[in-house]
């Protein structure tokens, strides 16, 4: 999920960094408690009930728990102010955290695939599971779905792609619990092979989601531009600034959940340098106030009205 899916209005006012960090911390600690309980319960009952699918789901919950601490670590460091080594701040800690989350999901998914494949190679070793595994899978499904909805609502409110990644991590676990539950039902109905098949499906789901998050985060770390809708909104704010006659070469790059912008603005060639500078300052302030822009670098270009014949300044002597 991209950041632009978090809000319908690209010019909606952003929350302050302190609000975003506090919201991330609260929602993540809720997730820590839920995942800790689920990890212990699913793995323990999975071993006792002889359900590979439930054990795989418990390992997925454990990866969620590790992911939660990655988010807490990133939230702590991303709030640091700019310094000499990081003149644009530390917002990319959040992007790096999303990359770590994706890599973690990818590794966990591949591990699940390998374990399930070994079971499927020897189907005679698959045992009938105990019915209590089904109750645990159902409880995990409900808990994960409720956790997903809570975390996604917080992510939308404070506009954090890192929290979105963590929320969808929870949704992936809810989906895996559903698949595991179906596999356990099939196992209890006399088809034991369905339990490792469920574990295999969970592995595919986790691997796919891990690849998606890793790929998106990697592109963001390579200065990927924001979507065209948001670029046009920034361009509109610039062109509506009094004194700005035109805008071109608007370039953007993501800095965590913020944006760094370069833009050329055109002002009347007949005004003074000081007046042109004041217009550029006003344009910058408007963009910073209306958009999630961390910094705007403006280049002022002269513009001449076509109905006026401005004399071209003589070249300076060398």
Does the domain at residues 3-221 carry the CATH identifier 1.20.1440.230?
no
CA dist., res. 89 & res. 107, Å (int)? 30
Annotate 264-294 with b (16+ C-beta within 10 A) or e (fewer).
Answer: bbbbbbeeeeeebeebbeebbebbeebbbbb
User: What is the pTM for the complete model shown?
Assistant: 0.59
What is residue 256's three-state secondary structure? coil
> Is there a contact between 280 and 260 (Cβ–Cβ < 8 Å)?
no
Q: Is the domain 228-303 a CATH 2.60.120.620 member?
A: no
Query: Dmax of the chain from CA atoms?
Result: 95
Series of mean pLDDT values for 10-residue runs along the chain (318 residues): 41 55 78 88 90 82 75 65 63 74 82 81 76 90 89 80 73 80 87 83 81 82 81 92 90 82 91 90 91 87 70 50
Chain region(s) in the chain for CATH 3.30.70.1350: 228-303
Dihedral sign, CA of 55, 61, 63, 66? negative
Q: 200 and 116 in contact (C-beta within 8 Å)?
A: yes
pLDDT at 176: 77
CATH code 1.20.1510.10 region(s) in the chain: 3-221
Residue 154: its H or E element: helix 132-158
pLDDT for the residue numbered 9? 42
Evaluate whether 160 touches 94 at the Cβ level (below 8 Å): yes
Q: Please enumerate in sequence order all residues whose Cβ is within 8 A of that of 94, keeping only pairs 6 or more positions apart, or say none.
A: 74, 75, 78, 160, 161, 162, 256, 257
Residue with token string 């670590």: 73
The answer to whether 85 and 76 have CB atoms below 8 angstroms apart is no
For position 2, what pLDDT does the model report? 41
For residue 45, the model assigns a pLDDT of 92
From its phi and psi, is residue 103 left (phi > 0), alpha (psi between -120 and 50) or beta? Answer: alpha
Nearest CA among 73, 58, 60, 62 for reference residue 28: 73
Angle between helices 194-221 and 52-78 (to 10 degrees): 20
């Amino acid at each position: 999920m991209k950041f632009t899916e978090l809000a319908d209005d690209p010019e909606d006012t952003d929350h302050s960094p302190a609000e975003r960090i506090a919201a991330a911390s609260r929602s993540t600690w809720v997730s820590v408690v839920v995942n800790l309980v689920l990890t212990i319960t699913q793995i323990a009952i999975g071993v006792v009930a002889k359900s590979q699918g439930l054990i795989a789901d418990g390992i997925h919950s454990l990866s969620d728990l590790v992911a939660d601490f990655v988010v807490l670590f990133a939230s702590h460091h991303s709030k640091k102010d700019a310094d000499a080594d990081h003149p644009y701040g530390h917002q990319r800690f959040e992007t790096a955290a999303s990359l770590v989350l994706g890599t973690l999901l990818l590794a966990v998914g591949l591990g699940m695939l390998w374990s399930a494949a070994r079971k499927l190679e020897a189907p005679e070793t698959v045992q009938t599971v105990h019915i209590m595994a089904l109750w645990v899978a159902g409880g995990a499904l409900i808990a994960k779905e409720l956790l997903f909805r809570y975390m996604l609502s917080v992510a939308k409110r404070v506009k954090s792609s890192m929290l979105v990644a963590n929320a969808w991590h929870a949704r992936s676990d809810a989906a895996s619990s559903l698949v595991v539950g179906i596999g356990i039902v099939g196992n209890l109905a006399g088809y034991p092979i369905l339990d490792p098949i469920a574990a295999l499906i969970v592995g595919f789901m986790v691997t796919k989601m891990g690849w998606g998050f890793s790929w998106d985060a990697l592109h963001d770390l390579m200065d990927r531009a924001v979507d065209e809708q948001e670029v046009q909104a920034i361009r509109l704010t610039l062109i509506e600034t009094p004194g700005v006659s035109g805008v071109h070469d608007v370039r953007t790059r993501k800095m965590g959940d913020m944006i760094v912008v370069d833009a050329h603005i055109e002002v009347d060639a007949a005004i003074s340098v000081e007046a042109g500078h004041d217009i550029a300052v006003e344009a910058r302030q408007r963009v910073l106030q209306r958009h999630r822009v961390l910094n705007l670098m403006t280049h002022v270009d002269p513009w001449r009205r076509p109905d006026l014949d401005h004399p071209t300044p003589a070249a300076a002597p060398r």
